[in-house]
Structure 1
Amino acid sequence: MIQSMTGYGKHVLQLPSKKITIELKSLNSKNLDLNARIPQSYREKELELRKKIAAVLLRGKVDFSLNLEITGQDTTVEVNAGVVKKYMSQLREIASGDETKLLEMALRMPDTLKTDKDDIDPEEYRAIETALEEALKAISAFRTEEGKVLEVDFNQRLSSLESLLESVKVMDQERLETIRERLEKAVADLKVELDENRFEQELIYYLEKYDITEEKVRLANHLDYFRTTMNSADSNGKKLGFISQEIGREINTIGSKANYAPMQQLVVQMKDELEKIKEQMLNVL
């Protein structure tokens, strides 16, 4: 089973006097790159929340936001009038406009609200932890669904590579015979006396340099290993990346040894399929 690094998860929690919204968005990245937006009152819990997210998401460029909206009558939050007035004064210097609009702009600025409550309510924080767990479940489910789409595409590409490899195997004997005939004709055109036994030995040695038996076997094994790894219990994006590199190495070697235009055309098609796998591989967890 593979998972995508692309995902989205959201959970909204309604408390007696607050509405708490937790959002998680993720894109592909080599490692975990976590960007957190948390209210000042919960900054002391940021490290703990980051650890919970990292334990589940593992890799990806992740945006985490925790938003608090006061919905009840009782609130310790007050407008920081001095800060708001300062913002409005500066805005008037930049551009003239309706006072109401200036006020709306000023209230969106940092530190326009202040609170006297410094201690975090334990019950409220437990509720936030629960909401985060639900959001993590949602984004994990999203990643799994995206991973299924990638898996279908990978299986199609692997089947195409296996089909092309079969074509290479069928063509291989014809290729060697064509190379042999070409060499014999080139020597015959020289019109020189040759020791037939020595010539045959040199010809066999030369053809062995173009033998791709090992490459064909290794490539087939790598394709099987890719599929086995893809169907394992965990998503192994990095491991699949390493396997795809080995697949590319065998394809390149077959291409360099081919010395036969029809087979090199097959190699170009194999490279094209592998390149598409590598592009999708960037998004696998």
Structure 2
Amino acid sequence: MIQSMTGFGKSLLQLPTKKITVEIKSLNSKNLDLNARIPGQYREKELDLRKIIANSLTRGKVDFSLYVEVTKEETSSVVNAPIVKAYMEQLRDIVNADDDELLKMAIRMPDSMKTEREEIDETEFSSIEKAVMTALEEINTFRTDEGKALEKDLNVRIANIETLLSDIIAMDPDRIAGVRERLRKGVEELKERVDENRFEQELVFYIEKFDITEEKVRLDNHLSYFKETIASEDSNGRKLAFISQEMGREINTIGSKSNYAPMQQLVVQMKDELEKIKEQLLNVL
């Protein structure tokens, strides 16, 4: 079973004073490229969250976002009373105004407000971790569903290559017979007496250069291994990519050795199917 690297997961967490939204999006990438957007009060827990995500999403360009919306009156900023009083005393010596006006001026001065850093509530963070796990389950379900569509398409492409390989195997005897006939006609046109034994030796040597038996066997083995890997429990896009490269080598060698137009046409079709396979593999986990 294979998985796609494309996916999206979302989870909502309602706390007594805030609503937290977790969103995770992934696209294809050679390795894990994780970008995290986390509010300042949770920065100290970023490494823990990254580890949780990395253990679940092994590859892909991943965007992780944690949004916090305050739903009840709550503020981390408080009036710095001693500083405000000091400002008011200084302003009273400078301007003639009542306390309300002095307070309005003092509150605008630097350091009149102070922000108290909130400590992370471990119970709250435990709930956030559960929300992240829920989003990860959702994105993995998305990836699995996308993987099923990819697997179906890849199996169709592999079946097409297998059919084309069968056609090549079927026409190979005609190709060799054609090569033999062309050589014999070429010799006859020379109008020279030919040693039949020597001619047969040279013919065998010449035909061996165009023999594609090994390539046909290896390509068939690669196709079988590709199907086995797709059907395995693990999703391994890298292994499938390596197998497709080996398939490409055998197909190219068959094309260069064939020296036969009908067979070369089949090779072109095989290359087209293989390119479509490689494009799909870019998105396989």
Amino acid at match of 2:133: E
The whole-number CA distance in structure 1 between the counterparts of 2:136 and 2:20 is 15
**Residue 52 in 1 paired to residue 52 in 2?**
yes
Aligned partner of 1:133 in structure 2 is: 133
Where structure 2 has 5 or more consecutive residues not aligned to the other structure, the ranges are 80-113
After TM superposition, list the pairs within 5 Å mapping 1:52-91 onto structure 2: 52-76=52-76
TM-score (norm 2): 0.86
Deviation at 1:77, TM superposition (A): 5.5
Amino acid at match of 1:144: T
SS in 2 for 1:21: strand
Amino acid at match of 1:4: S
TM-score (norm 1): 0.86
The whole-number CA distance in structure 2 between the counterparts of 1:134 and 1:68 is 17
Percent identical across equivalent pairs? 67
After TM superposition, list the pairs within 5 Å mapping 1:1-285 onto structure 2: 1-76=1-76, 115-285=115-285
Aligned residues of 2:76 and 2:118 also touching (Cα < 8 A): no
The whole-number CA distance in structure 2 between the counterparts of 1:118 and 1:62 is 28
SS in 1 for 2:63: strand
The whole-number CA distance in structure 1 between the counterparts of 2:186 and 2:223 is 39
The whole-number CA distance in structure 2 between the counterparts of 1:118 and 1:27 is 35
Aligned residues of 2:251 and 2:267 also touching (Cα < 8 A): yes
The whole-number CA distance in structure 1 between the counterparts of 2:147 and 2:63 is 20
The whole-number CA distance in structure 2 between the counterparts of 1:225 and 1:188 is 47
Aligned residues of 2:10 and 2:138 also touching (Cα < 8 A): yes
RMSD: 1.5
Structure 1 segments of 4+ aligned residues over 4 angstroms from their partners = none
Q: Size of the alignment, in residue pairs?
A: 252
SS in 2 for 1:235: coil
Deviation at 1:118, TM superposition (A): 3.0
Deviation at 1:48, TM superposition (A): 1.3
